[in-house]
Amino acid sequence: MGNFVSNFIVMTKPRVWIFLLITGIAGEVFALSILRSLNVNGFIYVAVYLTLGLMGSESLSNYFDLSIDRKMKRTMNRALPSGKMNPSVALYGGLILIAITLVMAIFRSFLSFAFMATGIFDYTIIYSLLSKKRTPLNIILGAYSGGAPLLAGFYAFTSTYNVVAILMFLTIFIWTPLHIWSLSIKYKEDYAAASVPMLPVNRTTRESMRILFPIALLAVVTTILTGFELRFYFAFNVGIIVFGFYLILGLLLFVSYLRAFIDPERRIMKLFVSTNIFIGIFFVFVALFSLLIPFIGV
């Protein structure tokens, strides 16, 4: 039983969903902080269904991706293609987790439910099932799902329009193709062998890096704007520090892109790693700065 549970968790790709869970938790913390609310039970409740929804989505996505994963060297040793787990477990396990998530979410907040439901649909159906094997725009069509946990976490506690929440969502949306396409440049032969038309499969590396230029630039802009808007929740001096932090973070991401643009053969995986570090730092510090709002915020 222990091996089954551990294999199931590994199959859900925790290295992927943990990053998205961090965004959802950051959304929760930000919402509770600006409301000056210490809703521990609500926070835990929402975090649980965010986790289950992310795990269920990854499980179902792995089921749809099985034919691809069997052909790619990077993925052929995963639980499903290697035969360590029955595909039906991924299918029905994923559906059960998703069902539990949506039931929990609807009892918490309709908006949170709506963002979880549409995010799950976008990732599993629009991206994994329908577009991943058919169009180079697959990751653009699936980018919404990356920002859905953030919005589900934030709108579990409020229904008010918030500029910072929208900017954080846009940052994830824009970050997603930069993150995925940098990885697919490295493994373009693998994707080609599996007939997955990722952008670098249909374009040269140089062309792909040029296409990533406006995406990287937009990611910098939304990062800086997030810091700019977040500063208004603090007194002037603290607000400047918050803004400066996100200004530097955005510029560092762009520097990483430029270095990869100059020498993609040597630095493309460094760009991929830096995108991981970037999104982690971005949202961990959203949560940390948010925790200060009830004490030193305005």
Give the model's pLDDT for residue 216.
97
Question: Domain check: are 122 and 137 in the same one?
Answer: yes
Spell out the SS3 assignment of 131-145.
HCCCCCCHHHHCHHH
Residues 76 and 209 in one domain: no
Predicted local confidence at residue 298, as pLDDT? 82
Residues whose CB is less than 8 angstroms from the CB of residue 92 and which lie 6 or more positions away in sequence, other chains included: none
CB 7 within 8 A of CB 85: yes
Neighbours of 49 (CB within 10 A): 26
> Last residue of a domain, which of 125, 159, 193?
159
Q: What is the average pLDDT across 228-243?
A: 94
Look at the chain and report how many structural domains it folds into.
2
pLDDT at 2 > cutoff 70: no
**Please, which pLDDT band fits residue 7 given cuts at 50, 70 and 90?**
confident
Do 167 and 120 share a structural domain?
no
Q: Is the pLDDT of residue 6 over 90?
A: no
Dihedral sign (CA 221, 227, 230, 236): negative
Burial of 156 (0-12, 13-18, 19+ CB in 10 A): buried
- For residue 246 the two structure tokens come to 């996100």
- For 128, list phi and psi in degrees, rounded to 5: -70, -50
> Are residue 208 and residue 230 in the same domain, yes or no?
yes
CATH for 96: 1.10.357.140
> How does residue 280 score in pLDDT terms, banded at 50, 70 and 90?
very high
The SS3 of residue 111 is: helix
Domain that holds residue 23: 1-159
The answer on 145 and 27 residing in a single domain is: yes
pLDDT tops 80 at residue 3: no
Same domain, 38 and 148: yes
Quote the percentage of the chain above a pLDDT of 90. Answer: 87
The candidate with the shortest Cα–Cα distance to 35, out of 289, 287, 290, is: 290
Same-domain pairing of 102 and 137: yes
Tell me, what amino acid is at 71? K
Residues 260 and 278 grouped into a single domain = yes
- Percent above pLDDT 70 for the chain: 99
Tens of pLDDT, residues 40-89: 999 999 999 999 999 999 999 999 999 999 999 888 888 899 888 899 99
Within this chain, do residues 153 and 6 fall inside the same structural domain, yes or no?
yes
Confidence category of residue 1, pLDDT binned at 50, 70, 90: low
Do 69 and 129 lie in one domain? The reply is: yes
Q: Are residues 7 and 118 in the same domain?
A: yes
Asked if 276 and 288 sit in the same domain, the reply is yes
| pTM, entire model | 0.95
* Residues 236-268 pLDDT 10s: 899 999 999 999 999 999 999 999 999 998 999
CB 43 within 8 A of CB 91: no
> 230: which 2 tokens?
């977040």
Nearest to 96 by CA among 53, 130, 129: 53
